[in-house]
């Protein structure tokens, strides 16, 4: 793997982690929708168009657990490293909802991104944004909605970010499967596994093999 791939992988992963909604991008998205996209009921990120400078990815997953339980688990950011494969830790910074995300980087190095909570609705939504001057310009939102009947909760993750190395970086990342969309999907599925089964599936026959597979993925 090239260092470009790895660097972008780490950054992208950070974004995926820092995932959430998007003030600017959503505004752009709404403007575009009114301007040239006939309204339908599908999530904006599934539209066949781009979002300008921002890359927008979104994923949802249905988890057969109560909404409040999932929200509470996610809201404690120190839990996130259990299912986000490139996240080393999230630690609080100050008292105003700022957090520092430490993300696995290339050659054993790590990358840090500082975020603040932009909006929070108890049991339903957590949105966050990278602080001014951050290495990565990103916003993210995770939402929790009751799914129909006994299906549990629909968890939605939307991430907007400015690709750190532009188009080439994105292409390289895609090649190495480290783009945020893949990362977001994988992380959400691991979240689902952890919540529904209490563990994260592996086909490794031995613990050391499971660890090795994890490091290789990271």
Partner 1 sequence: MRALTWHGTKDVRVETVDDPEIVNPRDAIIKVSSTAICGSDLHLYDGVIPGMMAGDILGHEFMGEVVETGPRSTLQKGQRVVVPFTISCGGCFHCRIEQYSACENSNPVEKQDASATLYGHPMAGLFGYSHMTGGYSGGQAEYVRVPFSDVGPIVVPDHLEDEKVLFLSDIFPTGWMAAENAEIQPDDTVAVWGCGPVGLFAVQAALAMGAARVIAIDHYPHRLELAHKLGAETINFRETHVREALLEMTGGIGVDAAIDAVGMEAHGFAIDNMIDVVKQKVGIGADRASVFKQALLAVRPGGRLSVPGVYGGMTDKFPLGALMEKSITVRAGQTHVQRYTDRLLAMIEEGVIDTTFLISHTLPLEEGPRGYRCFRDEQNTWTKVVLKPGMEAGQ
Ramachandran angles phi, psi of 129, nearest 5°? -145, 145
The answer to the question of residue 82 lying near partner 1 (CB under 8 A) is: no
Quote the CA–CA distance of 156 and 58 in Å, as a whole number. 7
Max Cα–Cα distance, the chain, nearest Å: 55
Tokens of 89: 């830790």
Nearest approach in angstroms of CB 184 to partner 1 is 12
Helices (H), 23-145: 23-36, 67-75
Q: Which of residues 178-197 bind partner 1 (CB under 8 A)?
A: 182, 186, 189-190, 192-193, 196-197
CB 138, CB 129: distance < 8 Å: yes
Under rule CB under 8 A, residue 42 binds partner 1: no
Count CB atoms within 10 A of the CB of residue 81. Answer: 17
**Candidate segments 71-79, 89-97, 108-116, 148-156, binder of partner 1 by CB under 8 A:** 148-156
| Distance separating alpha carbons of residues 126 and 104, to the nearest angstrom | 23
Q: Which of 3, 46, 95, 150 binds partner 1 (CB under 8 A)?
A: 150
Among positions 92, 151, 168, 212, the unique one binding partner 1 when judged by CB under 8 A? 151
Q: Does 34 bind partner 1 (CB under 8 A)?
A: no
Q: Of these, 34, 35, 48, 206, which contacts partner 1 (CB under 8 A)?
A: 206
Rounded CA separation 126/19 (Å):
10
Question: Closest distance between partner 1 and the C-beta of residue 187, in Å?
Answer: 8
Q: Which residues bind partner 1 (CB under 8 A)?
A: 62, 64, 150-152, 177, 182, 186, 189-190, 192-193, 196-207, 210, 213, 217
């Amino acid at each position: 793997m090239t260092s470009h791939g790895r660097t972008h992988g780490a950054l992208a992963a950070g974004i995926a982690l820092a995932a959430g909604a998007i003030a600017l991008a959503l505004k752009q998205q709404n403007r575009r929708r009114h301007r040239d996209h006939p309204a339908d009921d599908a999530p904006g990120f599934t539209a066949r168009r781009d979002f300008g400078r921002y890359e927008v990815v979104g994923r949802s997953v249905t988890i057969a657990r109560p909404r409040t339980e999932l929200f509470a688990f996610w809201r404690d950011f120190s839990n996130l490293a259990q299912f986000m494969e490139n996240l080393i830790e999230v630690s609080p910074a100050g008292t105003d909802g700022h957090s520092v995300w430490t993300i696995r980087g290339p050659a054993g190095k790590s990358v840090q991104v500082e975020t603040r909570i932009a909006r929070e609705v108890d049991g339903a939504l957590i949105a966050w944004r990278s602080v001014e001057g951050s290495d990565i310009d990103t916003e993210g939102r995770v939402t929790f909605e009751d799914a129909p009947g006994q299906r549990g909760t629909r968890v939605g993750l939307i991430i907007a970010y400015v690709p750190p190395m532009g188009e080439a970086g994105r292409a390289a990342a895609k090649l190495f499967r480290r783009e945020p969309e893949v990362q977001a999907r994988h992380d959400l599925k691991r979240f689902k596994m952890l919540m529904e089964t209490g563990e994260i599936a592996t086909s490794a026959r031995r613990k050391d093999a499971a660890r090795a597979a994890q490091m290789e993925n990271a």
